[in-house]
Structures are given as C-alpha cells and as structure tokens.
Amino acid sequence: MVRQAMMVAALLMAAPAVSAATPEDYKRSLGLREAQMYLTENVVDQAAWAPDGGAFHYRKTVPGGFQFVTVQPATMAKQPAFDQARIATAIGKLTGQTYQPLRLPFASFRYGAGNQSISFTAAGTRYSCNLTSYTCAEPAAAPGRPRAFGITRDMSVPADNTARTSPDGRWQAYTLDSNLMLREVATGAVRLITRNGSDGNFYDPETIAWAPDSSRFAAYRVVPGYQRQVYRVQSSPPGGEIKAKLITQLYPLPGDTVDLERPVVVDVASGAATEVVSSLFANPYSMSPIKWRADSGSFSFAYNQRGHAVYRLVSVDGRTGKASAAVEEKSDTFFYAPRHSYHDVSNLGREIVWMSERDGWNHLYLIDGKTGRTKKQITRGDWVVREIVKVDDEKRQIWFAANGRRKGSDPYLQHYYRVNFDGTNLVELTSADAFHDVAFSPDMQFYVDTYSRNNMATVSELRRGDGSLVSVIERGDITKLVAAGWQAPENFVAKGRDGRTDIWGVIVRPRDFDPAKKYPVIENIYGAGWDQFVPKKFWPFGFHAGGDEVVGMQSLADLGFIVVQIDGMGTLHRSKAFHDHTWKNAGDGGAPDRILWHKAAAQKYAYYDIDRVGLYGGSAGGQNTLNNLLFYPEFYKAGVSYNGCHDNRLDKVTWNEQWSGWPVDESYSKASSVDNAWRLKGNVLLVIGELDMNVDPVASMQVVDALIKANKTFEMLNVPNGDHGVGRTDGPMDYVLARQYDFFIRHLQGVQPPNWNAITDATPPAAR
C-alpha cells in the first residue's frame, strides 16, 4: 500500500511536456468506477424465490456497497437475507482473502433446504455456507468426465460409473469394461447386457436414463472425438517461482472429429439391447440428454446436426427402438440452438410447444408430436420471443419473455406475456417502457418485476399473477450519483445498410463536454451473433476487458473522446434476416451498418469527428477490431484488440462452427485476420493474455507473425498471467487500461501521453 501511495503521488506531481491528458486525468478516469459505484441506493438486481415460494430475495445498493434482502410476500416484511459480516469472515477464512461485509464477492445466491444455507459462485468457484454455524466450504467436485466446451469428452478423466438405480429401486445399471451391466438390488445378481463395448466405442454410464416404470433404460454408445491438446506457457508464476510452467488444455477446433453418440435402449426383462437406427441423427454436432416420456412408452433427445443447419427433436419408441422426427428445423444458414427451447406438453410427446424462426421471426408454435405438423402458430408478428418461462399444461397457457412487440419503443426492451396454446388472450404482464426482469413464484401466483433503462434507475414491484400491483418493493435513488457528475448515455438510432432497418447504439460524451470542440470517436465493438450488446438496463458499473461497460466508456470519454457502442446487423434479438448477416461473414461484424450509424451521428453533431474514428473490443470484439482496420481502413484509423479470436480455424469448435459452418471452407480464411494482415493501414495494439483459456493466444501470435512478414508496424502487449479478461491491477493503476488510453491519445488526438517512465519508483521489487 505504501508503494502504491508513493506511485500515485508521483503520478499526480508529474506533468509531461506535451499531453492532452495528465497523470491526474488518468487517475480520475481509472478510478471513476470505484468513485461512482457506491453512490446509489436501492438499485436492485433481479429477485429470486425460495423453493417453497414463501419468500423472495434480492441484492440492492446501499451507501458503501450492497445488501442482500429477503421479503415475505404475505406481509412485505423485509429483513437481511443473512449476516453479511459473518459471511465475509467465513469466506475470508476459506479463501485467505479479506472481504468487506457490504462488498461480498458474489451478486446472487441460492438458499438450501429450509433456508438454512446458501450457495454462490465467487471467482469461478462454487461455495456453500451454513447460516447457523456460519462456516463455508467448497463442495467436492462432482464426479464425472468433463467435456471440452460441452462437446468433446476428456478421455483422460474417468467417467462417473456410479450405478444408476431404477425408479422402483429394483435394478441398477452401470458399465464394466465399456459394456452395460444390470444388477438386481435384492439378490445382487448381475447380468452382462452388451459385449461389444470398447475404449473406442463405449457405453457411457453418465448417460443412462431409466423409464419411469423401470421396465427399460437407455444410454448413449460413444465413439470419442479427437483429443486435441493446446498449450499455454505461464511465464511468470506467482509466489516467487522463477521457472515457467506448461499448461495443457483439451481444445477441439473447427473441423475436428467430435463425439459420436448413438442411443441404445435396454429391455430389463429380456436383457435385449437395441441400438437405434441413426438415419435421423447420422452426423451429430451435439445430442441432448435422453429424456423419457411420462408413460414410459418413448424417449426423446434433441439432435443438432454438424454445421448447425438441421435441428430435430427425435422421438424413439421404447419397445421397438424406432426413431421418428417429432419436430424438424432446417435452415439455409444456421439454426441457433443456444437460444432455442421447447416444452413437451404433459411429457407425453403428443404436443410440443416449439420455438422457431421459420416465418422470419422467433415465435412459438404448437406442434403435433406424432406427425411433426404445425397445429397452431401461437405468436406472430415483427417481434421476437426470447424465452419460454413457464407452461401450464392443464390451463394450456404459456408465459414468455419477448422484445420488439411495442411499436415506437426500443425494440430490445424485454417484456413478459401470457398466451393460450391457441394464440388467444395474449396478455402483457409488464407495462413500463423499460427492460424487465421478472421472477415468478413457484405457484405463479406472484411475480417480482424489476425494470429499468440505461437512463433510468431500477424499480422493483411485487405483482399478482394477473398483473395487479401488490407493492413497490424498491425504487432506485441515483441522486448522489448524478450530483457526482454521472450522465446517462444518449440512445441514438440510424438506418442500416438496407436503408430501412433501425440500428441502435449509445453515445457517451466527456463530462466536461464542449460542443464547440471537435472530438475523435472511439467505438466499443462486439459484433458477434450470440447476443446484443448495447446496454439497455441500468447498471453502468459492470467490468470487462477494455472498460466496455458504460462507466468504462465514460472513463475513456473523459480523456477527450466521444465513445459509442452499436448493435449492427448480425447480432441477436431482431429478425432472422438481421441475425443471418453473421453467417460465414465473421469479417463483417456489422461494419456497414455501424459506419452508416457513425455518419448519421456526424451529420447531426458538428463535434463528432468522422475523420478520426478508432475502436476497441475483446474476444470476438478483438477480432472485429482488427478486421475493421483491415477491411475498412478508409474509415477506422486505430484499434485496441484484446484477446481476439483472429482466425476462426484456431478458435474453439463451438463458437466458430456455429457462425462459419462445417466443414471448414474458404469463409474461414476470408474472415481471418492472419490471412488478411497484409491489408493493415491504420494503427493497432494487440493485447494478449498468456493464460487465456477461452481464446488460444496462438491466434494473436499468428497475426503478429503475418504482420512482420508484411513489414507492418504494430504494438503488442503480452500480459503475463493474463486470462481472457487480460487486466492487471497489481500495480498502482490498471496497467492494461492505461496502455489503451495511451494508444488512443497518441493515434487519435495526435499528442503524446504522459511519460510514465520518467515517474520512477524508488523502492525496488522484493527479491524472488
């Protein structure tokens, strides 16, 4: 702490000869999040209900931090969810860290049985704390064989071969030497069910699923995928270790062979094992866990075909093993399975509530589960269903979240609705023009509606199932925040490349903004297809690499920039055609739409310097950053790329085959920052975390190699021990973010940043 205080004092005293920003400006910008984050009161997170529905809880801001609150809906009585001081002490004993009671290292939790314990995740680790003794423990890791990115089993780890007991308790199924076994519990008698299992074609015990009547069970037989290993070198291990360490990771790439699963159904009485004919699922990218129907007559699984253009709900007759397609989706581009959901009505396979974009917008359909034909399109229109929240099979009603249905409003604002199976009686349950997060009680008699906008603090209300208001729970107070200089971003809309579609974004100006000046512009970019990214809710203080939350954009703007963020075509929650711009087009990132948006802003605002535009982003946003410099050099002049997935052939199979397809073709090279590095005309800073376990740092290093071969100049910062988030805050400031500031001040303002090396630290580091 003394060393850091001395460094900060030196920063404040030093004044570089030529600079638009002083060390004091840096200190103010880098400290903005901490300075403003604790100035609000009663700004809440989404609520969560106890399993028995007797109470709900949430986190809210209070002076100096956050408080967890539990509410009894019958009386609206509020009380602390637990003793935060004791929890802080208990977690500290377990982790060796010190935590303030109002700044616990988690934002949400779940109550255990009888509300006598809580569980939560902090720094990627799951913890459980007893609320009587106030002791915390890290639960033992669940047994089982992990799958790299959820796709390829790690064959170096044994599978969990715990015997799976039948619902009636009479039988146990497990494996021995890769074959299925069946044990009678009462007698201990064992039967060998299969004899053809092997290491390279085994029956997976973790996939065993029993029919409700215990007459049969099913499991997947698996041919394991390619065990590709990638490597990280930890150059500077913490704790004084001098020698580097090698870290190995199972990391399947696009085009690699993935696990091949084949369902097998076993009849307990006869011991016969029937392998299901695979014609309907011959080339799987993934197959969901086996799920038996309530009558034990059949089971189902979802099949996502390699290439993501075919998706089926496959139904299998439990007696014969005959497979049929209960529902099928086909696309000329891609089917986005991570957003998809469905509901098997009464779990009988006769009717399926199904989500589909088959009419160009994501909607709900009622499907005949026997024929696959559409019985009814439940919702329709130029708007998007986001989530099936609840289905009541007896009342034949569906609760769901959607956006874009309100004409004249921001199309990304989420609302909640209820509708009948036949599409009648569509009821909007949320009324305020805002983004709503709703938590329904288990019996659906009440719900907590928490809503806000990026320019409006949160309001939380308890409502009855019919939508009528019970009570306002909390109303966010941002008086002190506004007094401290906080200002909401401006929501700005312009037409996209087709001249018709609205493209939404935000503009953040310096807090000392002078409209008579001309400001360079920096775009915070993330143009990937898995979501939309412009902030819609009120919480400007989340933290990510590059400072891409609102307060991070404000911090950068305060150094003399206009900072913007835009959802171009190719991002989620609009039409299917809007989303399809991502397909085999990773080099685009919505750039034509975003450039038009910039030009519209410059036409409206004289201070908006369209000739000095830069950008920054991380991960896919890092790829977008560099690709925009490569493919649109006439517009973008400088960029900071954090851990970019610069060549989709070098990045994980899951993400990249979703957008670029399978097999690997020329579209991968077309979008590659490596293959197109020779195009660079602007200035780039490549920031790499050497321990990034999400995006292999090799992608960035191959960009470096290509730039050198093309005789291009560039800047690079390889961060020891940096992960996907990259940042380093173990010095007197956030080192990586400060280097981003330096870069943009040099290349967009045309002046030199502070001369940090002239500010010396008189205290040498401790010897290793």
Mean pLDDT value across the chain: 94
115 DSSP 8-state letter = G
Measured CA to CA, the distance from residue 584 to residue 659 in angstroms comes to: 6
- For CA atoms 499, 500, 504, 507, the dihedral sign is positive
Least confident of 324-333, 529-538, 547-556: 547-556
Query: What are the backbone dihedrals phi and psi of residue 137, each rounded to the nearest 5 degrees, phi first?
Result: -145, 150
Total residue length of the chain: 768
For 343-380, the pLDDT digits (tens) are 999 999 999 999 999 999 999 999 999 999 999 999 99
Q: What is the mean pLDDT of residues 458-485?
A: 97
pLDDT score of 388 more than 80:
yes
Burial class (CB in 10 A: 0-12, 13-18, 19+), 295: middle
Structure tokens at 427: 């009821």
Q: What's the confidence (pLDDT) of residue 142?
A: 82
Domain ranges (residues) in the chain: 2-37+483-758, 48-141
Helices and strands, counts by H and E, the chain: 13, 46
Residue 583: CB atoms within 10 A of its CB come to: 21
Confirm or reject CATH 3.40.50.1820 for domain 2-37+483-758, answering yes or no: yes
pLDDT score of 766 more than 90:
no
* Residues linked to residue 453 through DSSP beta bridges, in sequence order: 456
Measured CA to CA, the distance from residue 113 to residue 616 in angstroms comes to: 46
Alpha helical stretches, state H, 81-232: 84-95
pLDDT score of 407 more than 60:
yes
Query: What are the backbone dihedrals phi and psi of residue 660, each rounded to the nearest 5 degrees, phi first?
Result: -105, -5
Measured CA to CA, the distance from residue 21 to residue 75 in angstroms comes to: 55
HEC string of 411-442 equals CCCEEEEEEECCCCCCEECCCCCCEEEEEECC
Helix axes 2-13, 23-30, angle to 10 degrees: 130
pLDDT score of 765 more than 90:
no
Cis peptide before 663 (omega within 30 of 0): yes
Q: What is the β-pairing status of strands 273-275 and 562-567?
A: unpaired
HEC string of 691-714 equals CCCCCCCHHHHHHHHHHHHCCCCC
Q: What's the confidence (pLDDT) of residue 678?
A: 98
Residue 7 banded pLDDT, cuts 50, 70, 90: very low
Helix axes 23-30, 550-557, angle to 10 degrees: 170
For 729-742, the pLDDT digits (tens) are 767 778 999 999 99
